[in-house]
């Protein structure tokens, strides 16, 4: 895969909740107080977000709650459907049953927002992994850790039990979960361990793209450091591209070289992470940076 | 190697009603390949601002910084795209700050190894050897190599920081008071390391608190008003 070509290309991505009206535009932009139209009540969760993520790059996304960070992840992970915009993955990156379809087009020919739900699932199973802030969303708490990983492996096309157990064991080892506890359910684990099982599950299909949605929020400091250390080492080892959503600027500084700053569903500033933190340009970014501990 | 022309940097503070603060103005200098330029001036004259503009941590307000890149040819760092800046930082340009940015759970020796491993295509063992050599030269006790620098003293942290920045032998090195928190002994070692780097072709631009020291290592000094 050519490192100079974006792996992911997102253009003018939009999502709103409500019908919208003619007055919406202008009263819901980042300069306004909120992204909810006072007249029709429509919430503009994302309004025209564009960015690229390159191979083996971690792109940070920061912003206050309600700025659209999680909406962005949910749209790209096909959990919600977008209203407008485009989402392309470089055709070279596509593997699995979709390869042939993609190979016929040019580099970024298929808008992934337009393909069928079945195809979306195939793309997700073959190329994506996700780690949520809340392990309840990413794991089945009553099913064993190994079973959680196997579920994803089956979705990605694995069939032999022996192979799957071996792979699950390897992943748990990599995320520092004792393999002896592979058959225990995550409900019996601590929060930090659950988060690491979630990471193991997210990595099980060898994804190219990993979505991290506030992965360290709510973990205590030592566990947070452990999870971050793990993510840092896995990124380079597995050549992952990551979208790192966090409101913790320290996490972004540690993991990402480039960062987007979001406010009211728009990207108000993007740039090198150290530049965003030390020479923020936009009014909102200046407020955000000056508010950190 | 690098030509700065009429560089100015203003900060616009939106939270103070858009007030503008001028950090440096009309800075111009040229550093030839292999040269070592010192930046001098009173506190607040904008020395660090210039270095941060060169590293593009700050976005310059006007002027140009033409850098002869090995990978990209002659580029203006003021207008260069983020991805290209990242590539130049990765392959050519290093920066030594005044303090170490500690990475949680990463030991001193790994802190120094990381940049070598990420770039030079050497084995882990070789990288470790080179990192240990540097730390030993900088008088970090070998018992501390595998400890996390967050527990180190200020001077020790700064020596790890310098080791991390020079370990991969960058082509252009920016130094922001690297020796401010070091004792006389360590300063001597650091100067030795910088001289060696220069002999191997590294171009440098640096700020040193101590005038005497600045005179000893640099070959030209740019006075900032």
| Full set of structural domains in chain A with CATH | 8-290 (3.40.50.300)
pLDDT at A271: 97
What is the chain A residue with the closest CA to B11? Answer: A279
Residue B81 has which token pair? Answer: 């795209």
B183 Cα to chain A: minimum distance (Å)? 29
Give residues with Cβ within 8 angstroms of A52, minimum separation 6: A6, A8, A9, A10
Beta carbons of B57 and A279 less than 8 Å apart: yes
* Burial class (CB within 10 angstroms; exposed 0-12, middle 13-18, buried 19+) of A97: middle
pLDDT at B195: 93
- How many Cα neighbours within 13 Å face the side chain of B170? 27
Task: Quote the CA–CA distance of A10 and A112 in Å, as a whole number.
Answer: 10
Residue B125 has which token pair? Answer: 């063992």
Interface test mutation site (partner B, options A52, A222, A274, max chain B beta carbons within 10 A) = A274
**Bridge partners (DSSP) listed for residue B207:** B39, B176
Are A113 and A81 within 8 A, CB to CB? Answer: yes
Interface test mutation site (partner A, options B55, B61, B104, B148, max chain A beta carbons within 10 A) = B104
pLDDT at A105: 67
Q: Calculate the average pLDDT of chain B.
A: 93
pLDDT at A292: 80
B71 interfacial to chain A (CB closer than 8 Å): no
Does the pLDDT of residue B175 top 90, yes or no? yes
Does the pLDDT of residue B140 top 80, yes or no? yes
Does the pLDDT of residue B164 top 90, yes or no? yes
Does the pLDDT of residue B119 top 90, yes or no? no
Three state DSSP letters for A35-48: CECCCCCCEEEEEE
Beta carbons of A236 and B118 less than 8 Å apart: yes
β-pairing, A241-245 vs A209-213, is parallel
B58 interfacial to chain A (CB closer than 8 Å): yes
Beta carbons of B52 and A54 less than 8 Å apart: no
Element (H, E) at B93: strand B93-96
Task: Quote the CA–CA distance of B13 and A284 in Å, as a whole number.
Answer: 11
Beta carbons of B59 and A281 less than 8 Å apart: yes
- Ranges A153-162, A272-281, B88-97, B170-179: which has the least confidence: A153-162
pLDDT above 70 coverage of chain B, percent: 100
Task: Quote the CA–CA distance of B87 and A169 in Å, as a whole number.
Answer: 37
For every residue of B137-161, DSSP letters joined together read HTT--GGGTTS-GGGS-HHHHHHHH
The closest of B7, B67, B72, B5 to B32, measured between CA atoms, is B67
pLDDT at A176: 86
Are A16 and A43 within 8 A, CB to CB? Answer: yes
Secondary structure class of B26 (helix, strand, coil) = strand
Q: In what order do the strands lie in the sheet with B73-76?
A: B19-31, B2-13, B62-69, B73-76
pLDDT at A1: 54
Does the pLDDT of residue B37 top 70, yes or no? yes
Task: Quote the CA–CA distance of B6 and B11 in Å, as a whole number.
Answer: 17
Rg (CA), chain B: 18
Q: What are phi and psi of B74, to 5 degrees?
A: -75, 125
- Ranges A133-137, B120-124, B174-178: which has the least confidence: B120-124
The pTM assigned to this predicted structure is: 0.92
Secondary structure class of A270 (helix, strand, coil) = strand
Please give the residue that has the higher pLDDT: either A247 or B83.
Answer: B83
pLDDT tens track of chain A, all 293 residues? Answer: 566 889 999 999 999 998 888 878 777 777 777 888 888 888 899 999 999 999 999 999 999 888 999 999 999 999 999 999 999 998 877 766 667 666 666 778 788 999 899 989 988 988 999 999 899 999 999 999 999 999 999 988 889 999 999 989 988 988 888 999 999 999 999 988 999 999 999 999 889 999 999 988 878 888 888 889 889 888 888 889 999 999 889 999 999 999 999 999 999 999 999 999 999 999 999 999 998 87
């Amino acid at each position: 895969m050519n490192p100079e070509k974006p792996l992911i290309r997102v253009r003018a991505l939009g999502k709103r909740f409500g019908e919208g009206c003619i007055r919406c535009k202008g009263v819901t932009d980042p300069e306004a107080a909120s992204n909810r139209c006072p007249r029709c009540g429509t919430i503009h969760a994302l309004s025209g977000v564009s960015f690229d993520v390159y191979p083996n790059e971690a792109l940070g996304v920061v912003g206050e709650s309600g700025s659209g960070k999680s909406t962005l992840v949910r749209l790209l992970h096909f959990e919600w459907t977008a209203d407008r915009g485009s989402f392309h993955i470089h055709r070279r990156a596509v593997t699995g049953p979709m390869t042939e379809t993609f190979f016929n087009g040019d580099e970024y020919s298929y808008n992934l927002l337009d393909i069928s739900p079945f195809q979306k699932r195939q793309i997700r199973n073959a190329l994506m992994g996700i780690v949520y802030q809340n392990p309840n969303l990413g794991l089945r708490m009553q099913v064993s850790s190994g079973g959680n990983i196997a579920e994803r492996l089956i979705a990605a096309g694995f069939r032999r039990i022996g192979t799957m157990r071996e792979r699950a064991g390897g992943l748990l080892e990599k995320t520092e979960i004792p393999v002896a506890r592979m058959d225990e359910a995550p409900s019996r684990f601590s929060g930090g361990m659950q988060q690491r099982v979630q990471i193991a599950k997210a990595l099980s299909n060898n994804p190219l793209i990993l979505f991290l949605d506030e992965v360290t929020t709510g973990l205590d400091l030592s566990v947070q450091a452990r999870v971050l250390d793990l993510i840092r080492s896995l990124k380079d080892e597995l050549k992952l591209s990551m979208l790192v959503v966090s409101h913790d600027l320290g996490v972004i500084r540690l993991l990402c070289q480039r960062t987007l700053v979001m406010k009211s569903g728009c990207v108000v500033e993007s740039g090198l992470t150290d530049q965003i933190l030390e020479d923020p340009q936009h009014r909102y970014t200046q407020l955000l940076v000056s508010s950190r501990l | 190697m690098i030509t700065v022309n009429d560089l100015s940097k203003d900060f616009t503070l939106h939270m103070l009603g858009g007030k503008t603060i001028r950090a440096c103005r009309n800075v111009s200098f040229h550093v030839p390949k292999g040269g070592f330029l010192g930046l001098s001036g009173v506190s607040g004259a904008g020395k660090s601002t210039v270095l941060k503009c060169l590293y593009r941590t700050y976005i310059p307000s006007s002027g140009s910084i033409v850098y002869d890149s090995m990978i990209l040819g002659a580029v203006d760092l003021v207008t260069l795209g983020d991805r290209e800046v990242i590539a130049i930082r990765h392959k050519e340009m290093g920066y030594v700050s005044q303090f170490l940015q500690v990475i949680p759970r990463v030991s001193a020796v790994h802190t120094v190894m990381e940049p070598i491993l990420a770039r030079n295509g050497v084995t882990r063992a070789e990288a470790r050897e080179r990192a240990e050599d540097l730390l030993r030269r900088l008088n970090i006790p070998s018992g501390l190599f595998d400890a996390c620098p967050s527990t180190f003293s200020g001077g020790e942290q700064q020596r790890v920081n310098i080791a991390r920045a020079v370990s991969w032998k960058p082509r252009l090195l920016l130094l922001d008071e690297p020796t401010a928190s070091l004792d006389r002994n360590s300063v001597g070692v650091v100067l030795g390391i910088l001289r060696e780097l220069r002999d191997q072709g590294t171009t440098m631009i640096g700020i040193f608190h101590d005038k005497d020291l600045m005179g000893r290592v640099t070959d030209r000094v740019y006075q900032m008003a």
